[in-house]
Structure 1
């Protein structure tokens, strides 16, 4: 009887040792480096489960011991992540365990999409259409259909999307980018309008958006925005037309070939501020925050005219005579 007990104890010890050794061998397989020699992109597709992804890793030679990763679902199910659809960058020094943790994280590969200040909605749509790995849901839709899709049926799209750099991952759609940009513009416009000057010739946030778009298209020089806003404000106060070339260009649409003729200046479009009184009916571009802030806080002064110096800045004048001299100096002579 004693001999039987000894045998059973020996077997138990050997079994425990085997289990201990087996467990640590399994853990060592999970902690072994993955087989990639350089950063490698791997995509988790829609509907792919954990075992499917592990099988893909094994098939591509990224992991050597598929059994060790499948065993994880039985022995440590809490350590099996819920996979997120997207692309992941696998690094050469990554272990198998770190690989599994990566797939359950939010560290998907993202791509930048930059919408420059002063661009039009048409330019933004073209950018979205050509963005790599961005799902396109608006291609072929009219602007009106796009705005309806965004829940703003009847709203003119121009100016309503905040120019900035947005990041997206594979699986994100252009509608999501548009929603982000629209929400940001609405929020920033509300913030800027709440801090507006008391003495304005514009009466609503939308008019501020229109004015900001004119400022944005007139100058990229940060020190000039408020002064240009001041010129426009004083012109409106005195019943003068704004006479800003970017509105002529916008009204010409696809006909604009890089130059404006005298006939273009006289053409009666809804946007030509050489012909119409006041501001155009909608924005003509997407303004940045600096132009929005300038629109609601014009610089006081007495200048009524400005002309481009040809270097990105403008010469401001108080009188028409002074302005004509500046035009001769900076435009006609050039």
Structure 2
């Protein structure tokens, strides 16, 4: 959208000034030559609002977050953590249990989002130790905004997290995750899959 100030676009879309991340439902949208880009964004926003509202009405009881927007934030993290459908609810369960226990989420994708264009492919110890609103290694709770455009499956996982006792997971490097109930087991998994 050229020639439109971000604040004006946000107002047109009925969004507060600031970050629009996560507000648009990722999908294929058909449009015709001459259609306004703002109309397409309004449509994607409307679809996201509907999908989120529908999922919210079907949510599990006793979630550790109180609003659809907070669920959207968690869904965006799940979206970045895995592309594997089988892992979404389980990862959501890990995060829900961590939030309920007031543990930090310690999610790499949130840190990467906060680092922005300075991220060049390797998450460093310095990045993990630098405080910022998206550094869930340093801060408790959810980051202030979504970090991606979550799809329906991630939204549903955030609102219906998997059960169990797992509090940790690490990427195996093949698209799957290794889950652990204890920090000791998690550290062994990290050594096995991340420190090769």
Is TM-score (shorter-chain normalized) higher than 0.5?
Answer: yes
Once the two structures are superposed, what CA deviation does each residue of 1:95-128 show, in whole Å capped at 9, x if it has no partner?
xxxxxxxxxxxxxxxxxxxxxxxxxxxxxxxxxx
**In structure 1, what is the equivalent of residue 66 of structure 2?**
203
**In structure 2, what is the equivalent of residue 323 of structure 1?**
186
**In structure 2, what is the equivalent of residue 244 of structure 1?**
107
Q: Is the 8 A contact 1:222 1:290 kept in 2?
A: yes
2:169 corresponds, among 284, 306, 315, to 306
**In structure 1, what is the equivalent of residue 89 of structure 2?**
226
**In structure 2, what is the equivalent of residue 150 of structure 1?**
13
Displacement of 1:145: 3.0
Task: Name the CA distance, whole Å, in 1 between partners of 2:16 and 2:169.
Answer: 38
Larger Rg: 1
Note the 1:280-291 alignment, pairs <5 A.
Answer: 280-291=143-154
Task: Name the CA distance, whole Å, in 2 between partners of 1:160 and 1:319.
Answer: 35
Size of the alignment, in residue pairs?
A: 196
Question: Which consecutive unaligned segments of at least 5 residues does structure 2 have?
Answer: none
Pick closer, same or farther for the CA change 1:143–1:252 going to 2, 3 Å: farther
**In structure 1, what is the equivalent of residue 140 of structure 2?**
277
Task: Name the CA distance, whole Å, in 1 between partners of 2:3 and 2:143.
Answer: 27
Specify which structure has the bigger relative contact order, considering alpha-carbon pairs within 8 angstroms and separated by 6 or more residues. Answer: 2
Task: Name the CA distance, whole Å, in 2 between partners of 1:331 and 1:180.
Answer: 41
Task: Name the CA distance, whole Å, in 1 between partners of 2:104 and 2:160.
Answer: 20
Compute the TM-score of the two structures, normalised by the length of structure 1. 0.57
Pick closer, same or farther for the CA change 1:290–1:204 going to 2, 3 Å: same
Task: Name the CA distance, whole Å, in 2 between partners of 1:189 and 1:289.
Answer: 8
Task: Name the CA distance, whole Å, in 2 between partners of 1:141 and 1:181.
Answer: 18
Compute the TM-score of the two structures, normalised by the length of structure 2. 0.96
Give the RMSD, CA atoms, in angstroms.
1.2
Once the two structures are superposed, what CA deviation does each residue of 1:57-104 show, in whole Å capped at 9, x if it has no partner?
xxxxxxxxxxxxxxxxxxxxxxxxxxxxxxxxxxxxxxxxxxxxxxxx
> Is the partner of 1:165 in helix, strand or coil?
coil
Note the 1:117-128 alignment, pairs <5 A.
Answer: none
> Is the partner of 2:29 in helix, strand or coil?
strand
- Structure with the largest fraction of strand: 1
Question: Which consecutive unaligned segments of at least 5 residues does structure 1 have?
Answer: 1-137
